[in-house]
Amino acid sequence: MKKITTLLMAIVLTISLLPVSTDAAAAKDMKVHFIDVGQGDAILVQAPNGKNMLVDGGPKAAGSKVVSFLKSKGVKRLDYVVATHPDADHIGGLEAVLNAFPVTNFIDSGHPHTTQTYYNMLALIDKKNIKFTIAKELDKLALDPQLITRVLYADESAKDSNAASIVLKITYNKVSFLLMGDADITTENYLKSKYDVKATVLKNGHHGSDTSSSAAFISAVKPSVAILSYGKNNSYGHPNLAVEARLKNVGAKTYKTPIHCNITVTTNGTKHSVSNSCGNVSVAKPAPSKPVAKPAPSKPTQKPVAKPKPTPPKVQTGFKNCTELRKVYPSGVAKGHPAYQSKMDRDKDGWACE
């Protein structure tokens, strides 16, 4: 009897020391919400451990909408707030957010800006005694030990605020997110030459503008999902048609905030799914009607008088910017075309305002 008891104790001890199968416990979900704030950016990251990070807050007019959205997702505290750069369409709504939620860490680009919006934001951070950090390249944010949340790019001394944009890459096992802020093609070229930029989900830089999302960069990222955050009927011409074509060429499924509203990517680190608050917005094209047979023309009773050849319309070749040029040439112009200007060919591929 004593031997049996000893054997049972040994078996129990052995079982308790065996490693627990990772398949037995299902991985918790991570959710990344791309909030429809009109012409601007606001992204809520909800980590598997329950912590929350807000990247940008949209324009000031969207502040209350962002606050309501966060509350609807159960947010009671923001562990991180990241202001990618100080433009009003990215930080305007943060004043309302900072007043509505306790914030543990605030990450800033450090790029100086003289606007009242930026000043008010900094004053509020100081008043609430929020830990303030200027982002540095390769900084890691301690959002969740299951995630790698890294600053891929930051430059507080950049030539302008867009070029100073913080770029974040968040990796959860096999699924990754690349959040580009308003980073331009120069930044894209730097990143793809130095780091692994391949990502499952790409939040395109600068609202799908032609100043970002070069063909070479999109090919390097090769996203499965692309997010374009912009305002409906905006005056900037966002998003650029060539950018949308590049995303289609690499097989990315593109979602747009004016069409799909709030867009949510859910992942357990292995698989991912996308949902949106506007539902199915695809519209079936009507079937083409059958052509009606034209009656045979009757013979003219008299010889027709030849019409004078029309004077060809004058072709406009001078444009102030890409927005004006695309009104006449929606797809841009190639090098050698009378309207081509090298200053409008930002990626130097021989095609201006593509």
Domain boundaries, the chain: 30-276, 322-352
User: pTM here?
Assistant: 0.73
Evaluate the omega torsion of the peptide bond into residue 239 and state whether it is cis, within 30 degrees of 0: yes
Rounded CA gap, 315 and 317, in Å? 6
pLDDT surpasses 60 at 331: yes
- Cα–Cα distance, 243 to 220 (Å, whole number): 14
Q: How far is C-alpha 260 from the chain's CA centre?
A: 13
* Residue 49 identity (one-letter amino acid): N
pLDDT digits (tens, 9 = 90+) for 2-30: 544 443 454 344 434 444 434 334 689 99
How far out from the chain centre does Cα 77 lie? 24
pLDDT at 282: 35
- In tens, the pLDDT along 220-244 reads 999 999 999 999 988 999 999 999 9
Q: Is the pLDDT of residue 291 over 50?
A: no
The confidence band for 349, taking pLDDT boundaries of 50, 70 and 90, is low
C-alpha torsion 146→54→34→250, nearest 10: -50
- Nearest CA to 161 out of 86, 236, 92 is that of 86
Residue environment code for 59-78, b if the CB has 16+ CB neighbours within 10 A, otherwise e: bbebbebbbebbeeeebeeb
Does residue 55 carry a pLDDT above 70? Answer: yes
Closest CA to 36 of 274, 232, 172: 232
Rounded Cα distance between 72 and 276, Å, is 15
When the pLDDT of each residue in the chain is averaged and rounded to a whole number, the result is: 85
| Angle of CA points 132, 125, 52, to nearest 5° | 70
| The two three-digit tokens of residue 44, written as one number | 């809520």
CATH 3.50.50.60 is held by the domain 30-276: no
Does residue 141 carry a pLDDT above 50? Answer: yes
Residue 311: its pLDDT value, please?
46
Q: How many CB atoms lie within 10 A of CB 248?
A: 12
The percent of residues in the chain predicted with pLDDT above 70, rounded, is 80
pLDDT tens readout for residues 186-223: 999 999 999 999 999 999 999 999 999 999 999 999 99
Are 218 and 247 a contacting pair, CB within 8 Å?
Answer: yes
User: pLDDT band at residue 262, thresholds of 50, 70 and 90?
Assistant: very high
Q: Inform me whether the pLDDT recorded for 324 exceeds 90.
A: no
- Residues in the chain, total: 354
Q: Per-residue pLDDT for 340 more than 80?
A: no
* Predicted local confidence at residue 274, as pLDDT: 97
How confident is the model over 130-137, as a mean pLDDT?
A: 97
Q: What is the pLDDT of residue 60?
A: 97
